[in-house]
Structure 1
């Protein structure tokens, strides 16, 4: 009787965690079901979710490191208890990630639906988040300009793929430094698709409640509730500024006019104070002046208030790949393997444009102040 009750309980959790909806959605999109792990298997992998296995925590829940019986390391994402929205978000994440096959996107291995809250099982990325590295939260040397450019280019390439190379375009909607993971080779891996949205092919924008992270939110999306791929471009622009300055996107410890990094950065460029806000660890690198100026100008274009005036992620990725070639070998031949060199040279046609601001600094500051006001649906 206990065994029967236990089986019924697991079936109840499966339904409540969106298992039936997930099966329907996967069938509708023509995808195979992700591997289903048992609750017992994941409990043993994490030593029953011991505190020592916690990799990170957020509003969505907690991520644990697990070791499966075959000694494979995994990251297990455990949602918070209670809200129906969590189940919907869980199903959304599985649907999104099941469609992605890209070397710079964290790979989903499977899920578990028979527990009180749903669990997602991802490949384990060993070296933590980009945020931990650029904000000195982990021990080790500062990232060189070359490595920062590599990480930026790989992240931009992954986002460009999401926007244009999947069966249905995907808007990430929460691009930020903590959602970019680094492996032992400093290869960038974009993660956390809980807030992402599929965009029907006959639409170029979606009307949706605002969701994202303060400091990275697209001002146009915040005001209009109209989500487009250019919202990801804006958020990536903030990440690019973090890579240049090693400052956090939003800090109430800074003076009021400097709290929003995006606003402070744009104003610094317009006042010709760029060098004063750059991270000193990269200012002294070789080939810095021109390359840093090009990266800064690209970031500024990503941060334009009007989405239509921002470049596409494909254009951003192309420009960054071109800069990688230049910084690794001034003559234009990067010291990569032959295949990667050929690919970069094919795609690295710099997209030159007007680097000027599309609006006044006062307009920009006004928008940023509105972004700091509280609202209900932010993460």
Structure 2
């Protein structure tokens, strides 16, 4: 335990605020490369010290940080080119797409007009190095006023907008006396979106970010989930170690290019091909009538930013429900009394906002009793993109199995089996609707007061491309749940969800977390542990003792049946895994007590009609006590028989 305490203390010390020269203090969500550890902040907030200047890179541009205003999540930056070039000529607009940054509305635009036929009779800032005898180039504030002088900016070939922050210390007269380079050196203000650190700071902690996509409050006595006053130090330390190990494993995997090329021959060309909207579903911008007023378009409700700000008490850190790779979730109450969960996406800007709104339309049309309902979102014109979901009050399955709400014997096997069935039904529906969840895990399975399932985050995979991990440096998906075939072939299919669901089933059987660094190295991943126990006929060593596996014949029979289903889901070869429709059908048979080894084969082929279409399925793998598994290697087949339980 002493070693763990020292390790935890080192995290607290590692995240101490530091500065570059005389610059501002750098702390969460920012971190200085070479001075801080990467877990002290988010990857997109990495700062380097160059000639005593704090440097932040956003997209392809380099910015010098002049000041950071942590109280309102903003910072003052200057494009480094302004200081490096004797005649800087901005040739493109500031690009913040797919970053956690956005331009502050406090900025004003300095418009650069290049290669203009005529020189205006108006105060401008000449750009002499981009002008010649035939064409004029200049910069001007308030180009709208310029147009009011009858000057046509259409006579200019290029128009670029550069933001500038003019504070109260700069008088109008002094502004007119500057050249355009001096004006650009005033810099501009960026806002950022990240998990709030105020609550952690007030408790004496220092904020950080774990590679399992979890916010962490590092304290002198170890890491805590939110503040130094809450518990969970040891468990959270363990999670941090898990996350760091998983991240390191991801780096090794991605660097093994030669191995990937060899394995690629084995991959059969399964790709994630999401359905594209037909022309009748595509949105026309003309359908949206001033959507910031809270109107709806194509049946999707649009919330105003102000409305959601009020609902969450200005995104109060005390109302935070969770934090993940895509954003922070806040509890809120709408004006009509509805309790909601508001997901504040880390990325404020999208090149294809129209596509974003189309995807929101798809998600709001998904209706299933075991999916969290998406009520709507903010509009494309909003300062932030926010998603509004129904609020589910009873925590997650992970909370009840091995988290804050876990109590021995409290979650009976009857309830666990019902959770498995309802989750399988939700995933079956998603797959029939051509949606792959991509992050099936017990933390994404919510429970209502009656312990009925509401699967969450099922739509975020539609809102983001498959090759972007955003704020996480870990491989796509959550360590412990990621399909090994997906890692090998980099091809996502619905069978990847099936594998992750197999891990969920094992969690329900064992009450153990999907990853635990304190277990034997061959059992750190729960799915690997489960395969080993099942194949060695030692299922009883895996089962949570509080479930009555040894004392209740009915419980023993049904747990054994669910273990068989999980075994099929966890097969290394995706062709040997069942579909979610098959999984659901078999779980229903287990619950109805008509399951037997022969029954599994009777369910080999069936068809399940969903709202999204007709699903056709192949055979389920046979029971683990007599299963004949074909392991394909180098073109040859061998068969192994799994021992009986």
Normalised by the length of structure 1, the TM-score is: 0.73
1:207–1:359 Cα change, 3 Å: farther
Do residues 354 (structure 1) and 622 (structure 2) align? yes
Residue 191 of structure 1 pairs with residue 456 of structure 2:
yes
Deviates more, 1:230-239 or 1:271-280: 271-280
Answer yes or no: is 1:212 the counterpart of 2:468.
no
More helix by share: 1
Which residue of 235, 243, 252 maps to 2:517?
A: 252
Report deviation, 1:237: 0.3
The answer for the alignment partner of 1:181 in structure 2 is: 446
2:282 corresponds to 1:28: yes
- Find the partner of 1:239 among 471, 494, 504: 504
CA distance in 2, matches of 1:87, 1:274: 50
Partners of 2:426 and 2:283 lie apart in 1 by 21
**Aligned-pair CA distance for 1:353:** 4.2
Task: Quote the Cα distance in structure 1 between the aligned partners of 2:535 and 2:497.
Answer: 24
Change (3 A) 1:68 1:207: closer
CA apart distance, 1:255: 2.3
Higher relative contact order, chain-length normalized (CA < 8 Å, sep 6+)? 1
Q: Any conservation in 1 of the 2:305–2:383 contact (CA below 8 Å)?
A: no
Structure 1 residues 1-379: aligned runs within 5 Å: 27-28=281-282, 32-81=298-347, 84=350, 94-113=360-379, 114-138=381-405, 142-164=410-432, 166=433, 169-197=434-462, 211-284=476-549, 286=552, 287-326=554-593, 353-355=621-623, 356=627, 358=629
Cα distance in 2, alignment partners of residues 257 and 85 from structure 1: 44
8 Å Cα contact 1:125-1:182 kept in structure 2: yes
Q: How far apart are residue 81 of structure 1 and its match?
A: 4.6
1:357 deviation in Å?
A: 6.7
RMSD: 3.3
Q: CA deviation at 1:193?
A: 2.7
**1:267-299, CA deviations, whole angstroms, 9 ceiling, x for partnerless residues?**
011111210121111135741211111111110
| Cα distance in structure 2, aligned partners of 1:155 and 1:283 | 23
Deviation at 1:137, TM superposition (A): 1.6
Alpha carbons 1:305, 1:359 under 8 Å: kept: no
Distance 1:107 1:174 in 2: 17
Aligned residues: 310
- 1:34-53 per-position Cα deviation (integer Å, ceiling 9, x unaligned): 21111111111111111111
Structure whose residues are more often strand by fraction: 2
Q: Distance in 2 between matches of 1:293 and 1:127?
A: 28
Deviations 1:168-190 (A, max 9, x none): x1111111111111111111111
> Normalised by the size of structure 2, how large is the TM-score?
0.44
The list of structure 1 runs, each at least 4 consecutive aligned residues, that deviate by more than 3 angstroms after superposition, is 23-27, 81-93, 113-116, 206-210, 357-360
My pick for the range that moved more, 45-54 or 250-259, is: 250-259
Moved more, 241-250 or 81-90: 81-90
**Preserved contact between residue 304 and residue 358 of structure 1 (Cα < 8 Å):** no
1:253 deviates by 2.6
Contact between 1:238 and 1:249, CA under 8 Å: does it hold in 2? yes
Per-residue deviation, residues 321-365 of structure 1 (Å, max 9, x unmatched) = 1122229xxxxxxxxxxxxxxxxxxxxxxx8642337377xxxxx
Distance 1:90 1:265, change over 3 A: farther
1:333 aligns with: none
Q: After superposition, what is the alpha-carbon deviation per residue over 1:57-99, rounded to whole angstroms, capped at 9, x for unaligned? A: 1121111110111221011001125675997996586255223
Query: 1: CA distance between counterparts of 2:310 and 2:394?
Result: 23
Moved more, 122-131 or 185-194: 185-194
Q: Note closer, same or farther for the CA distance 1:248–1:43 as it changes in structure 2 (3 Å cut).
A: same
Write out per-residue CA displacement over residues 177-209 of structure 1, whole angstroms, 9 at most, x where no aligned residue. Answer: 1111111111111110354359xxxxxxx9967
Distance 1:236 1:275 in 2: 21
Larger Rg: 2
Q: Does the 8 Å CA contact 2:502/2:570 hold for their aligned counterparts?
A: yes
Does the Cα contact within 8 Å between 2:397 and 2:443 map onto a contact in 1? Answer: yes
Q: 1:173 to 1:181 in 2, by over 3 A?
A: same
Structure 1 CA distance, aligned partners of 2:415 and 2:492?
Answer: 31
3-state DSSP of counterpart to 1:77: strand
What are the Cα deviations for residues 100-159 of structure 1, in whole angstroms up to 9, with x where unaligned?
Answer: 111101101011135433100001111011111111421666210010000100010111
The residue matched to 2:592 in structure 1 has which SS? helix
Name the CA distance, whole Å, in 2 between partners of 1:57 and 1:86.
25
Would the aligned equivalents of 2:578 and 2:621 in 1 still touch at CA under 8 Å? no
